[in-house]
Amino acid sequence: MTEVNENTALLGTSPTKSRFRLKAKTRKIMIATFVLFALAALLFQISDSSTVPHTKPKSDNKKNVIFFVTDGMGPASLSLARSFRQYKYDLPMNDTLFLDHYLIGSSRTRSSDSLVTDSAAGATAFSCALKSYNGAIGVDPFNAPCGTILEGAKLNGYMTGLVVTTRITDATPASFSAHADFRIQEDLIALHQLGNYPLGRMVDLMIGGGRTHYYSGKSRYGPSGTRKDNRNLIDEAINNGWQYVGSRSEFDSLKLGHNVSLPLLGLLADYDIPFDLDRSHSKYPSLEEQTITALNALSAATKNSDKGFFLLVEGSRIDHAGHQNDPAAQVREVLAFDRAFKAAVEFAENSDVETILISTSDHETGGLVTARQVTDDYPEYLWYPQVLDNAQHSGEYLQMKILNYDGNNKKEFVAKEVLKNDLNITDYTENDLHELVTLADGSKLQEKLNDMVSVRAQVGWTTHGHSAVDVNIYAFANKQETWLDILKNLQGNHENTEIGSFMARYMGIDLVKVTGLINETDHSAGINVKEINRVDLYDKYHHKLLNLRND
Ligand SMILES: *[C@@H]1O[C@H](CO)[C@@H](O)[C@H](O)[C@H]1NC(C)=O
Ligand SMILES: *[C@@H]1O[C@H](CO)[C@@H](O)[C@H](O)[C@H]1NC(C)=O
Ligand SMILES: *[C@@H]1O[C@H](CO)[C@@H](O)[C@H](O)[C@H]1NC(C)=O
Ligand SMILES: *[C@@H]1O[C@H](CO)[C@@H](O)[C@H](O)[C@H]1NC(C)=O
Ligand SMILES: [Zn+2]
């Protein structure tokens, strides 16, 4: 079987490569130590009852693959969320996240053109199993469309799905289902996702936000579509046989996947689904509900097939909380993801189809540290989870609440309604209050609010962007041999592309062959490279904060 090899020439700038020579003896000792560790880890994994496969799947060919991306979740996010959960629910110090039981390794995340990746190159490493440049959506470093594991799965007879909490046209889901030179070509990405490219429709189910790139102007689906070509892709999709759901009540009519007709287009917000911390349960489903719905629908649709399904589930907005340096929003995003992952493990445990789950992050965001020096004195060894528990809303939500205030005592409103009621912060200075009342720029206001929370929690951030720290790999399989196969390939420290290669091989996908079928894809539409500025390239929605939320 052929696979797209990681183009090592592209990594030729890597400063660590081959200059480092160890003495033979030292090398032998290191190798022996490594083997011992690997064996110990293998035995530990096998004896840990929570990860031992329980079920006995029937078929040898029928497989389900559920791939999870925790966008922007680094190791510190897990530590933060774990301690927060212990504090909030009064749990013992040995209590862990559900995800913690499934840790098998870590992933290196650099892209072809930078030591710090963005989500587009990060996701393309998983989807095409190759390193590409920051901003690349399912294209290689020379802008040539590369076959993805979602396309390969569909061509091999699998059903396919995408579940996210941000725009369905955003970098991670796009890199599996579209081919574009730059992530900002979201109008084009929406077209590909519905099948307007050489392969035709490859996606059977989409649930997330991002309705705005599916229609133009005002329509019955929403007030402000942003497509520049005046098309209404939602109407077109419905005419082509898609079931469309655009609201919580329509989502509820899907009966958690038991009343779905595929293909399904679920666009539940114009942009992002709100942070779990801010989410109105009557307006938006949780990531767990979205995931269960997708699993049930895909499972039912493949019931009589000898092929299973490939599903991507993204905890998309862990990344946004990282960009915004908002620890209170981030811990809730991580916990919401943990519940979705748990639901999928339970699904796999109860399925008689061979099912694997792999979960990893594309990169870390925010340079988060679970400690922060807040005075000139020698720092205390602690951080305060109760400060995050006190926060009833994200900075993103609260800056809007302040900016939308139209009464005549803003100072009292901010002091009482925001600082006291929403954040339970009472030790602010007159200067803090003055800033919150007078700042007119939403992103500055958000920055101020999130900093007030972070400083009090003694949680540190080093960037509003991404970092190069390694991220964790988690896995589960409901069949012993498959589980050992995963460990053999992904235990320890790996390049992100190896995760894509593993899934391709597991589903019997020849990515080179898929690449050969899509060379005529229009991947450059709607873009004038000279007009793009560097920041917009990465994320035009979350660097410039827009007043876009619709709840
Ligand atoms: C956690 O600690 C408690 C005692 O505080 C103990 O009873 C329990 O078995 C421990 N659980 C694990 C998973 O180690
Ligand atoms: C099932 O879905 C159909 C639309 O596809 C809807 O008319 C019906 O009300 C749904 N059933 C339930 C029980 O919600
Ligand atoms: C506000 O914070 C204080 C100090 O941490 C705490 O004692 C109090 O219970 C909190 N109030 C609410 C409503 O959570
Ligand atoms: C795409 O590949 C086919 C078959 O190899 C070839 O005939 C065609 O010229 C290629 N098109 C482009 C645009 O490279
Ligand atoms: Zn990001």
Is residue 25 included in any domain, yes or no? no
Give the DSSP letter of residue 256. Answer: G
Same domain, 384 and 326: no
Please state the separation of Cα 180 from the chain's center in Å.
19
Same domain, 252 and 330: yes
Same domain, 358 and 378: no
| Contact between residue 445 and residue 351 where contact means Cβ atoms under 8 Å apart | no
Q: What is the pLDDT of residue 329?
A: 98
Question: Which residues in the chain land under pLDDT 50?
Answer: 1-23, 25, 42-50, 543-551
Q: Is 100 exposed, middle or buried (0-12, 13-18, 19+ CB in 10 A)?
A: middle
Q: Is 527 exposed, middle or buried (0-12, 13-18, 19+ CB in 10 A)?
A: middle
- CA pair distance 219, 214, nearest whole angstrom: 11
- CA pair distance 172, 162, nearest whole angstrom: 10
Same domain, 210 and 166: yes
Domain of residue 425, CATH code: 1.10.60.40
Same domain, 202 and 275: yes
Is residue 54 included in any domain, yes or no? no
Q: Domain count for the chain, please give it.
A: 2
Name the H helices within 95-230: 119-127, 149-155, 171-177, 186-193
Cβ count near 188 (within 10 Å)? 28
- Crossing angle of helices 327-350/442-457, nearest 10°? 80
Same domain, 393 and 454: yes
Is residue 157 included in any domain, yes or no? yes
Residue 478 to residues 68, 314, 351, 491: CA-CA distances in angstroms? 16, 21, 8, 17
Q: What is the position in ligand 3's atom list of the atom closest to the CA of 390?
A: 14
Q: Which long-range contacts (CB under 8 A, 24 or more apart) does 486-491 make?
A: 486/104, 486/356, 486/358, 487/42, 487/45, 487/104, 490/104, 490/105, 490/358, 491/38, 491/41, 491/42, 491/45, 491/104, 491/105
**Closest by Cα among 464, 476, 430 to 53:** 476
- CA pair distance 496, 115, nearest whole angstrom: 13
- CA pair distance 196, 79, nearest whole angstrom: 43
71 labeled binding residue: yes
Expressed as residue numbers, the domain containing 429 is 373-458
170 labeled binding residue: yes
Is residue 352 included in any domain, yes or no? yes
Ligand 3 probe mutation, 383, 386, 424, most atoms within 8 A of CB = 424
Q: What is the position in ligand 3's atom list of the atom closest to the CA of 389?
A: 14
Query: Which of 458, 474, 493 marks a domain boundary?
Result: 458
| Contact between residue 397 and residue 362 where contact means Cβ atoms under 8 Å apart | no
363 labeled binding residue: yes
252 lines ligand 2 (CB under 6 A): no
- CA pair distance 471, 71, nearest whole angstrom: 10
Same domain, 259 and 324: yes
Same domain, 339 and 415: no
Query: What is the DSSP annotation of 10-59?
Result: GGTT-TTSS-----HHHHHHHHHHHHHHHHHHHHHHHH-GGGS-------
- CA pair distance 257, 269, nearest whole angstrom: 19
Q: What is the position in ligand 4's atom list of the atom closest to the CA of 520?
A: 13
Same domain, 292 and 425: no
Same domain, 220 and 143: yes
Q: Which ligand is nearest to the CA of 260?
A: 2
pTM summary value = 0.89
Same domain, 158 and 86: yes
- CA pair distance 427, 455, nearest whole angstrom: 12
Rounded to the nearest angstrom, the distance between the alpha carbon of 263 and the centre of ligand 2 is: 15
Domain of residue 362, CATH code: 3.40.720.10
Q: What is the pLDDT of residue 14?
A: 35
Query: Which of 458, 483, 511 marks a domain boundary?
Result: 458
Query: Which of 458, 493, 511 marks a domain boundary?
Result: 458
111, 119, 132, 359: the active-site residue: 119
Is residue 506 included in any domain, yes or no? yes
Same domain, 131 and 184: yes
Pocket around ligand 4 at a 6 A CB cut-off: 519-520
**Radius of gyration over every alpha carbon of the chain, rounded to an integer in angstroms:** 23
Nearest CA to ligand 1 atom 11: 94
Is residue 547 included in any domain, yes or no? no
253 lines ligand 2 (CB under 6 A): yes
Query: What is the DSSP annotation of 367-429?
Result: --BS----SSSPPPS---HHHHHH--S-HHHHHHHHHT--SS-HHHHIIIIIIIIIT------
User: Phi first, then psi: what are they for 162, rounded to 5°?
Assistant: -130, 130
Q: What is the position in ligand 2's atom list of the atom closest to the CA of 243?
A: 5
**Closest by Cα among 50, 75, 295 to 163:** 295
48 labeled binding residue: no
**Closest by Cα among 389, 362, 541 to 468:** 362
Rounded to the nearest angstrom, the distance between the alpha carbon of 224 and the centre of ligand 3 is: 41
**Closest by Cα among 329, 331, 259 to 293:** 259
Is residue 103 included in any domain, yes or no? yes
Rounded to the nearest angstrom, the distance between the alpha carbon of 320 and the centre of ligand 3 is: 27
Q: Is 101 exposed, middle or buried (0-12, 13-18, 19+ CB in 10 A)?
A: middle
Nearest CA to ligand 3 atom 10: 424
Active site residue 83: no
Rounded to the nearest angstrom, the distance between the alpha carbon of 95 and the centre of ligand 1 is: 8
259 lines ligand 2 (CB under 6 A): yes
Is residue 8 included in any domain, yes or no? no
